Amino acid sequence: MGAPEAVITDLTRRVADAQSIVVFTGAGMSAESGVPTYRGQGGLWKNFRAQDLATLEAFDRDPALVWGWYRDRRNKLLEVEPNDGHRAIAEAAARIPVTLVTQNVDGLHTFAGSTDPLELHGNIWREHCTSCPATSDKSHHWAEKIVEAENDPLPECPDCEALMRPSVVWFGEQLDARVIEAAFKAAEGCDLMFVIGTSGEVQPAASLPLVARRAGAFVVEINLEPTLLTDRCNTSLFEPAARVLPRILAG
């Protein structure tokens, strides 16, 4: 079942021969852990669309509603474990030259053991002050299974008492320049890129595979169905990431 052995063998050889590999992931990477994707059927919360809630305007208009959404997502993540795909990527990094670039904010790559993912859209477990440089890391909530009541008082800055916000990149907000520059540099310099579980709808992240391809990399898509990126990839494997990644990255 799944990709023919010859295809897997060719990819494992490419992994072994590569001088530099980029693994680029989207929400489909976490689907088999039970995290709903953005544009799949699970991508709704109280009849709101992610695109309507993940904006600075929504937060300014109703911070309690937006914090309620993030708290609900954090609480659901407490019951979620990284999957075999996350673990395969984390384990491979000890053996092969991998740069991990993710659009995901769920932290599951880190919980699986990846040490330095480039988190293009931030991380749902981190917060920063809306008024001063203070930041706060709540990733221990996952390990310690700390539940946040949706109607807890909104988090205040420990330094200046202003409102804290989730350290994620909302639609219309710029990505962290250092992070996106490092991601494009890795894409330009790699000879192999895996594009995993992304619809290719969100920019500038979705341009990374095009940059890699143009720079001469062999670009492999792993998805359940064709996407906006399929025509730009050298090849696509249409099967679940958590099933096929361990076969490709086993080493």
41 interacts with ligand BV8 by CB under 6 A: no
86, 109, 121, 141: the catalytic one is 121
58 interacts with ligand BV8 by CB under 6 A: no
Alpha helices in 167-236 (DSSP H): 177-189, 208-214
240 interacts with ligand BV8 by CB under 6 A: yes
Q: Which of 39, 126, 128, 141 binds ligand BV8 (CB under 6 A)?
A: 39
| Closer residue to ligand BV8 in complex, CB, 47/174 | 174
Angle between helices 241-249 and 5-17 in degrees, nearest 10: 60
Which two three-digit tokens encode residue 182?
A: 């490092």
> Which range in 137-145, 148-156, 176-184, 193-201 contacts ligand BV8 by CB under 6 A?
193-201
What distance in Å separates the CA atoms of residue 11 and residue 220, rounded to the nearest whole number? 9
Number of H helices, E strands in the chain: 10, 11
What distance in Å separates the CA atoms of residue 144 and residue 242, rounded to the nearest whole number? 25
Please say if 109 is a catalytic residue: no
> Smallest gap, in angstroms, from Cβ of residue 19 to ligand BV8?
26
Q: Which of 21, 23, 26, 190 binds ligand BV8 (CB under 6 A)?
A: 26
| Closer residue to ligand BV8 in complex, CB, 96/168 | 168
Alpha helices in the chain (DSSP H): 5-17, 50-53, 56-61, 63-78, 84-92, 108-111, 140-143, 177-189, 208-214, 241-249
171 interacts with ligand BV8 by CB under 6 A: yes
What distance in Å separates the CA atoms of residue 66 and residue 46, rounded to the nearest whole number? 11
What distance in Å separates the CA atoms of residue 155 and residue 74, rounded to the nearest whole number? 14
| Closer residue to ligand BV8 in complex, CB, 133/172 | 172
Q: List, by residue number, the catalytic residues.
A: 121
Interface with ligand BV8 (CB under 6 A): 26-28, 31-32, 37-40, 54, 103-105, 121, 168-174, 197-199, 201-203, 222-225, 227, 240-241
